[in-house]
Amino acid sequence: MNTVALEVKNVVKTFSVDGSKINAVDDVSFKVNSGEFVALVGPSGSGKTTMLSILAVLLTPTSGQVLIDGQDLAKMSEKQRVVLRREKIGFTFQSNNLIPYLTAKENVEFMLRLNGKANRAGRVRSQELLARLGLNDRLHNLPAQMSGGQQQRVAIARALIHNPTVVLADEPTASLDTERAFQVVETFANLIHENNRAGIMVTHDLRMCKYVDRVLQMRDGKLVQIYETKEEVMALARGGDH
């Protein structure tokens, strides 16, 4: 239960824009255990998406080390990274999540196809997962026929269906109304806890922290504060109310 799924050590990501350098992520270190759901918060431009992209193996850090399941990303070939991405990582993006010509169910099953596991059991599980996210009557809709929130939920199902080690979600509640947002994050948290995944969710909305185990706060690329205990986390979540 307490194995380390994800470890980040002194990670720096520098972007050069017009000759000047910006440290989008600046010397960040943390660990996430399997079965743990963590929120990543901070103001716009603080480096959350950059951090998540590094964890999703979409972006190589300028320096520092990232270990997923004990494997050092820096020591992998590009091919191995592609395999790691489809086997061990689930990802929902800030927008443009789904493949537009696949239905909700096909989008989720595609993750299984990628991993060569699109069997009967897998298809049943996709359907159950979508049902749990409240999409039972949207299985055969194309993304264009669904609301933004429904699309986000399909993306969450897709990020979980293949039992990845790490689940990364960038603003999964951005296009949901408050009630729906609470519901979705709660289900998300439950699925992560039940299946013993390591989950990281980026959010602007501190109220969503009510369902997470820990909160990492970033500012100007730096990890400025970690809310560890249940009390600290709940206080932060309540504070977000006003």
Partner 1 sequence: MGLSIYLALKEIWRNRGRFFLVALVIALITLLVLFIAALGEGLGTNNRQYVSNLDAQLIVFLDKSDFIIPSSRLDQSALKAVRRVDGVADAGPISTSSTAILLDNGKVLKVSMLGVEAGRPGLPPVIEGRTYQTQLAKETVIDRNVALRSDIKVGDEITIRSTQGTKDEFFTLKVVGLTEGQAYTFQPTIFVPPSTWERVRPKSEAEANKTVPDINVIAVKLEDPSQTEAMKSKIEANVSNVQVADIETTISNIPGYSAQQGTVQTQGAFTLLIGVLVIGGFFQIQILQKVPQIGVLKAIGSSNAVVGLAAVIQIMVVTAIGVGIGGLLTYVFSLFFPPTIPLVFNGNASALAIAALLFIGPAGGLVSVIYAVRIEPLKALRLS
Ligand X SMILES: Nc1ncnc2c1ncn2[C@@H]1O[C@H](COP(=O)(O)OP(=O)(O)OP(=O)(O)O)[C@@H](O)[C@H]1O
CA distances, 34 to each of 3, 37, 136, 167, 190 (Å): 6, 8, 29, 10, 13
Residue 203 lies near Mg ion (rule: CB under 5 A): no
Which range touches partner 1 (CB under 8 A), out of 50-58, 66-74, 195-203, 205-213?
50-58
Question: Is residue 53 at the binding interface for Mg ion, with CB under 5 A as the rule?
Answer: no
Are 166 and 87 in contact, with CB atoms under 8 Å apart? Answer: no
Among 34, 97, 150, 173, indicate the residue that binds partner 1 (CB under 8 A). 97
Q: Are 24 and 44 in contact (CB under 8 A)?
A: no
Residue 24 interacting partner from ligand X, partner 1, Mg ion, none (CB closer than 5 to 8 Å by kind): ligand X
**49 near Mg ion, judged by CB under 5 A:** yes
Q: Quick check: 67 binds partner 1 (CB under 8 A)?
A: no
Give the phi and the psi of residue 212 in degrees, each rounded to 5. Answer: -100, 165
Distance between alpha carbon 37 and the CA centroid of its chain, in Å? Answer: 10
Judged by CB under 6 A, does residue 17 bind ligand X?
yes
| C-beta of residue 218 within 8 angstroms of C-beta of residue 48 | yes
When binding is defined by CB under 8 A, the residue of 43, 80, 83, 136 that contacts partner 1 is 83
Binding residue for ligand X (CB under 6 A) from 3, 10, 15, 140? Answer: 15
Could you give phi then psi for residue 28, rounded to 5 degrees? -100, 135
Residue 7 binding: pick among Mg ion, partner 1, ligand X, none (C-beta 5-8 Å cut-off by kind): none
Binding of partner 1 at residue 14 (CB under 8 A)?
Answer: no
Residues from 157 through 176 that contact partner 1 (CB under 8 A): 158
Tell me how many residues contact partner 1 (CB under 8 A): 30
Query: Does position 44 bind ligand X by CB under 6 A?
Result: yes
Q: Is 49 in the site for ligand X (CB under 6 A)?
A: yes
Question: How crowded is the C-beta side of 222, counted as CA atoms within 13 Å?
Answer: 3
Binding residues for partner 1, rule: CB under 8 A, are 53, 56, 58-59, 79, 82-83, 85-87, 89, 91, 93-102, 106, 110-111, 113-115, 142, 158
Residues contributing to the site for ligand X (CB under 6 A)? 15, 17, 22, 24, 42, 44-50
